[in-house]
A and B are shown apart, each in its own frame.
Chain A
Amino acid sequence: MFRRFDEAAGPIVEIVVDDRRIEARLGENLAAALLAAEIEPFRTTPVSGAARMPYCMMGVCFDCLAIVDGVPNRQTCLETVRAGMVVERQNGARAPGPQNGGE
């Protein structure tokens, strides 16, 4: 599991992941915050339902997708933590249109 070996200055905020409140550092990378909070897996694939987690952390692999503030298939490795952010894990294919939730 990932652990924080240091603590940079800056406010700690709460975000919500599937109705669970977790602590995150304001302005840090969202995927990193989810990994630090041991959120696992991030999603399941539309093809086979396999579990996936971040692979590249730089916006090319599309494995770290989640529903962020109601928008599905967001690359969490390119998102920045904001106070009150709502993250939902995505199971399989997204639904069309804006939404709040997987199945």
Chain B
Amino acid sequence: MNRTSCDLAVVGAGPAGMAAASEASALGLRAVVLDEKPGPGGQIYHAITAPRTAARDAVLGPDYLGGLPLVDAFTSSGADYRSGATVWQISEDGVSYAGADGGGDIAASRVLVATGAMERPYPLPGWTLPGVMTAGAAQLLLKGSGLLADDAVFVGTGPLLYLVATQYVNAGARIEAIIDTANPAAKWAALPHLPMALRQSGYIAKGLRMLARIRRSGTKVIHGARDIALEGEDRVAAVTWQQGASGQRQRLACRHVFLHQGVVPNPNMTMAARAAHRWDEAQACWVVDRDTHGRTSLPWLLAAGDGAGIGGAKVAELSGRLAALAAAHDLGRLDAAAFAARSAPLIRRVGAEMAPRPFLDRLYRPADGTLAPQDEATILCRCEEVRRGAVADAVAEGCPGPNQLKSFTRAGMGPCQGRMCGHSIGAVISELSGRSAAEVGYFRLRMPVKPVTLGDIGGMTHAQKEET
């Protein structure tokens, strides 16, 4: 088992983690970065250090390649980077991880969780069928292996859905249709936030260009679809939906469906650490409580990047730097004046980058009924195959919330540890009990924050080496 110690242990090598490690190293802190992937970059810059092609670079565009300077700075920062490392435990003493090197314990004065976002699980009938994946998953296949699937149907809403569709169009894939589930009224609700969004005008312009590109390609975009269901036996074979208020049920045959309903922080690690969290109504998700520098309710724990609140890659990078400054300052390695001077421009830039968020949050807010599906047979917990009807039965019996529900139905007990059902179960309980999502609460999570073997936990791994 490996043992080492550091000032700052960073979990995640996406934009926030890379920026934090670079900044911390520049400030003279010893930083160790642990990440599950084989290379740095996180989801946004997935496989950016792997062999690429000019064709793929052209499809993925300048926002993707814009990650290269950050990656280069990180790899030359001197931070101790461990890839393929699954962190399963964090505490005031540091972090424990499992990995091909045998895993180990890293003592750390501060721990920064930069584990990023995940796509909001979108439970609808048939979403567990082979051939159904998230739009983000399709994009990761494109980034890492240049894989495309023709004649896919994209279902949902959000900037990433349209980004992936645009990349598909640019790569020459045929898209069967895009079914946009956004509530048409969302446009009006978003409108008051548009002036503020235009302060960061590049973002909105980019979005408009994407929509124009999709329109020019002749791709069918369907609005006003309700009660969407995926059909198939061994594999998805069709998407069906109700069009308009009284129209008949529509059907589109397909072999691939890509789902997306926006992104939410992956809350498991900060929750398992028992940091305070709050319900964010604007983004309809749980987020860790933190200050401008990412300090949480626990003195040893910081959080940065999309895992601490959705802001996108630029904000993630800035928040990573701020967290590194806070760690350096709080460990007595950066005086108050320097801390303030270095923080101020970063905080200003975060403010500017966040300007479009209220507009986007309103525009792409999941429509009613997408977070809490109505169909009784829809699976909510993919691991334990718990359907909405079973959840509703338990709630009718008086089950007071997600934790008792977990006990009574096994929802959330599987290997994904509630990541795929936590938010939708909260939404269903909220709807059925008439209590707000904030009152209903979330699963109480514990270590291990990912499933690891008894050998890993017991420190009895096959590869063993000692460091000091």
Contact = CB atoms under 8 A, between A and B. Distances in A.
Interface residues of A, number: 42
Nearest to B133: A55
Given A48-B385, A59-B36, A60-B266, A3 B150 contact: yes
A58 B43 contact: yes
B146 A5 contact: yes
A62 B86 CA distance: 14
A15 B61 CA distance: 32
A61 interface: yes
B391 to A, nearest CB: 16
B385 A50 contact: yes
A5 B172 contact: yes
Range of interface residues on B (Cβ < 8 Å): 35 or more
A32 B141 contact: yes
A1 B146 contact: no
Q: Is the interface of A mostly helix, strand, loop or mixed?
A: loop
B382 interface: yes
Interface in A43-60: 45, 47-48, 50-60
A28 B144 CA distance: 7
B109 interface: no
B140 A1 contact: no
A65 to B, nearest CB: 8
Interface string A12-56: 000000000000010111001101100011000101101111111
Contacts of A3: 147-150
Interface string B451-467: 10000000000000000
B370 interface: no
A59 B147 CA distance: 18
B383 A36 contact: no
Nearest to A73: B415
A6 interface: yes
A2 B130 contact: no
A71 to B, nearest CB: 9
Contacts of B255: 1
A41 B133 CA distance: 13
Contact of B137 (A4, A10, A45, A55): A55
A54 B234 contact: no
Interface of B: 36-38, 43, 47, 50-53, 55-56, 84, 86, 118-119, 128-134, 136-137, 140-141, 144-150, 171-173, 234-235, 255, 266, 382-385, 414-416, 419-420, 450-451
* Closest CB pairs A-B (n = 9): A57-B137, A53-B130, A32-B145, A8-B51, A6-B146, A62-B415, A57-B140, A2-B147, A6-B53
Given A58-B137, A80-B84, 13 more contacts: A2-B148, A5-B55, A8-B52, A25-B145, A32-B141, A32-B145, A36-B147, A53-B131, A54-B137, A57-B140, A62-B415, A63-B382, A78-B86
Interface of A: 1-10, 25, 27-29, 32-33, 35-36, 40-41, 45, 47-48, 50-63, 65, 73, 77-78, 80
21 contacts: A3-B147, A4-B145, A5-B56, A6-B53, A6-B146, A8-B53, A27-B38, A28-B50, A28-B145, A29-B140, A41-B235, A52-B128, A52-B130, A55-B382, A59-B36, A60-B118, A62-B414, A62-B415, A73-B415, A78-B37, A78-B86
